[in-house]
Amino acid sequence: MTDPITNPATPEACFGKEAVALALADHAAVQGLADYIVDAKWDRKELTLTVAPENIVAACKAAQGAGYNFFEDVTAVDWYPAEPRFQLSYSLLSHKLKQRIRVVARLNEGQSIVSITAVWPSANFYEREVFDLFGVPFTGHPNLTRIMMPENWEGHPLRKDYPVEGYR
Amino acid sequence: MSPIEQLEEITAEDMKIPGVADVVRESVTHHKPHGSDPVSDQTMILNMGPQHPSTHGVLRLVVELDGETVISLAPDIGYLHTGIEKTCEAKFYAQVTPMTDRIDYLCPMTNNTAYALAVEKLLELEIPERAQYIRVLFNELTRIQSHLVWLGTHAMDIGALTVFLYCFREREALLRIFEGVSGQRMMTSFVRIGGVSLELPSGLIGEIRAFLKDFPSKIAEYEGLLNGNPIWQSRLKGVGILSAEDAVALGVTGPPMRASGIDFDVRRDMPYSGYEKFKFDVPVSTGNDVWARYIVRMQEMRESVRICQQALDGMPDGRITADAPKIILPDREQMKTQMESLIHHFKIVTEGFAVPAGEATSSVEAPHGMMNYYVVSDGTAKPYRVHMRNADFANLQALETMCKGRQIADVVAVIGSIDVVLGAIDR
């Protein structure tokens, strides 16, 4: 896979016309997001679209306009020690089209991303959870505080360099 | 100096303990409800929970009140956070199944199914039809069981104590059925990756049929206790209004969403585990209030009975696990007589099984709403990341919208109507 941050490419360049045609046959509405997609993956009948982190709000708005009206959740995957370290996976559902897409943004450590609470207020708790357990800051979030761990907790438990047991 | 003389030297200042106002002020500066004004003389901050009987676990609500009217409300969660997602990363794929029971402990079978579906998607396993039917059967029995706990506790919160005993009578019969099939009443771990763990014991089908035959009359009995009750009606009708737009914006799923007029059910619209073969209706209401959620859930129990009967009638014969000897533990008899099976058994137990790299999301309709499992694999025998999306977590966000402007007593009714399980929220 090409690195989406350093080498933006069209879905066709990444995965070949056939894979993209298959994905589009199933998910025609994602053409509304075409301007923001830097990478795409059609795997196990699930469509994963990578967007640049600075475009996340615009991409979410475009997805909303394309019919993906329901925000399911956002979570992160820590690919430590690889760079970019964090993969944010936004899961979006369309009630009308009866399908879901995964929008992915990749971040380095210390990099922040704009909150999508302006598009879907339901992202509020989920972004707080990612902030709490992974330490990814969301700018523009109305109440970015820890949600699971105590306020005075040090560290972010779901990071891969945080041990499962024993001392930190 | 004698101890008594020492006592005399203690001044009134030393004896001063922090007043209620100090404690409240401290609490507010730490957990200020979002968007509220600083504490003024007109409003009062009320700390509800974490040990409040109506919060169904350990949910703390910081409620700002003007008289008895709710101005703002901020849920404070995390008291049950056990780091299950982190622990999953240190276990083999098969070892994660017992942990999923403990997330939403009222619907263990649904959690097992959601996790199994996600891993099966990664492994690209074909599940035999019999296993799918057994999954559907127990998913629906779990739904009835979860709704019975909801109805009993919801009615108890409102003050109708009798209903609780009636509901738990039927729940007991269901837990016996779960015990009969899995050996466990609550933490069943029955649905496994690749199928289900055990064949149904003889006689259990008859027991389930007897329960299903009897149960619709029991639902009528609950409704007889509640529907005509003027207190029940006035506490539920017009309370906790949630419009369809708000439900979508706040991520509400499950019965609260369908009670706001959105006709979406994962079982019907994005079928999994063979649900497309079953005929059932999805109850929808446009009442938007607590009463509508009550009606929707009662109707859902009736539909679940229908699905269970179809599952029993149409259950095919065959295997209960997929044909994948490197993933599913072999039959005990085979393991003792065949070399290959012994090797597979040894390898699965000691090393687990590797799952191809990739990511997969499974989605099921749990009793509380949409439940998604997101599993990321890096090609090893342990999941790289497991994330659970439980309906309760998002539904809780809608609590403020539903309670704002209502009386403090209505908060109890609204919490009951969204049916929160704190194990699922905090994970």
- Which residue reads 């998913």 in tokens? B139
How far B109 CA lies from chain A's nearest CA (Å)? 22
Which residues, given as ranges, of chain B have pLDDT below 70? 1-41, 54-55
Residues B84-426: name the CATH superfamily: Cytochrome-c3 Hydrogenase, chain B (1.10.645.10)
Average pLDDT over residues A159-163: 87
What are the residues facing A93 on neighbouring strands?
A70, A100
H or E element that contains A150? none
pLDDT of A7 higher than 60: no
* pLDDT the model gives residue B424: 86
> At residue A109, does pLDDT exceed 50?
yes
B161-182 vs B129-158: helix crossing angle, rounded to 10:
160
Residue A77 binned pLDDT confidence (cut-offs 50, 70, 90): very high
Question: pLDDT tens across B104-137, in order?
Answer: 888 899 999 999 999 999 998 889 999 999 999 9
Pick the closest to residue B103 from B78, B79, B122, B85 (CA basis). Answer: B85
Distance, in angstroms, between B332 CA and closest chain A CA?
33
Q: With contacts defined as CB-CB under 8 Å, which chain A residues touch B122?
A: 44
Q: Please name the residues in contact with B374: beta carbons below 8 A apart, sequence gap of 6 or more.
A: A73, A75, A89, A91, B118, B359, B360, B361, B385, B386, B387, B388, B389
Q: What is residue B11's predicted lDDT score, i.e. its pLDDT? A: 57
Can the peptide bond before residue A84 be classed as cis, meaning omega within 30 degrees of 0?
Answer: yes
Q: What is the DSSP letter of B251?
A: T
- Average pLDDT, stretch A61-65? 87
| Residue A26 touches chain B, beta carbons under 8 Å | no
Which residues in chain B have their CB less than 8 angstroms from residue A43's CB? 358-359
Are A105 and A130 in contact by the 8 Å Cβ rule? The answer is no
Chain A hits for B32, CB-CB cut-off 8 Å, are none
Return the closest-CA partner of residue B389 out of A111, A74, A118.
A74
B280 vs A135: CA distance, rounded Å? 44
B209 touching A, CB under 8 A? no
- Which residues in B145-299 belong to E strands, given as ranges? 191-192, 195-196
Judge whether B78 is closer than 8 Å to chain A, CB to CB.
Answer: yes
End-to-end CA distance of chain B: 57
CB contact under 8 A, A151 and B251: no
Q: Rounded to a whole number, what is the distance in Å from the CA of B348 to chain A's nearest CA?
A: 23
Per-residue model confidence (pLDDT) at position A16: 56
pLDDT at A6 over 50: no
Cα distances from B188 to residues B107, B175, B179, B240, in angstroms, run 10, 10, 8, 34
pLDDT of residue A39: 79
Distances in whole angstroms, Cα of residue B86 to Cα of each of A58, A78, A162, B294, B369: 32, 12, 10, 36, 24
Is B77 in Cβ contact with A71 (below 8 Å)? no
Task: Determine the distance from the C-alpha atom of residue A25 to the mean position of all C-alpha atoms in its chain, rounded to a whole number.
Answer: 23
Q: Cβ A102–B78 below 8 Å, yes or no?
A: no
Q: Which of B283, B262, B284, B280 is nearest to B271 (CA)?
A: B280
Residue A72: which of A29, A103, A43 has the closest Cα?
A103
Contact B397 A121 (CB under 8 A): yes
Whether residue B357 lies within 8 A of chain A, CB to CB, comes out as no
Closest CA of chain A from B243, distance in Å:
14
> How many C-beta neighbours within 10 Å does residue A109 have?
14
Output the pLDDT for position A45: 81
Burial classification of residue A120, based on how many CB atoms lie within 10 Å of its CB (0-12 exposed, 13-18 middle, 19 or more buried): buried
What stretches of B43-196 adopt beta strand conformation (E)?
44-48, 60-66, 69-76, 191-192, 195-196
Residue B287: predicted pLDDT: 87
Helix B161-182 to helix B204-226 angle, to the nearest 10 degrees?
170
DSSP B275: G
The C-alpha atoms of residue B144 and residue B55 are separated, in whole angstroms, by 21
- CB-nearest to B372 from A91, A98, A142 is A91
Residue A59's contacts (CB-CB under 8 Å, 6 or more residues apart) are A33, A36, A49, A51, A103
Helix (H) or strand (E) holding B424: helix B422-426
3-state class of B104 per DSSP? coil
Task: Locate CATH 1.10.645.10 in chain B.
Answer: 84-426
B126 touches chain A (CB under 8 A): no
Which tops the pLDDT comparison, A11 or B384? B384
Asked if B77 and A148 come within 8 Å (Cβ–Cβ), the reply is yes
A38-47, A152-161, B34-43, B394-403: range with lowest mean pLDDT: B34-43
Partnered with residue A99 across adjacent β-strands are A94
In chain A the domains, ranked by start, together with CATH numbers, are 11-139 (3.30.460.80)
**pLDDT by residue (tens digit) across B167-219?**
999 999 999 999 999 988 888 889 999 889 888 898 899 999 999 999 999 99
Mean pLDDT of chain B: 86
List, in sequence order, every residue forming a beta bridge with B71; answer none if it has no partner: none
Neighbours of A34 (CB within 10 A): 12
Contact yes or no for B66/B43 (Cβ under 8 A): yes
Examine the pLDDT at A9 and tell me if it is beyond 90.
no
Q: Confirm or reject contact between B361 and chain A (CB < 8 A).
A: yes
Helix ranges restricted to H, A27-152: 56-65, 123-134
Complex ipTM value = 0.85
List the structure tokens of A99.
Answer: 């399908």
**pLDDT value at residue B17:** 53
Cα–Cα dist B293/B262, whole Å: 12
A91 contacts B374? CB cut-off 8 A: yes
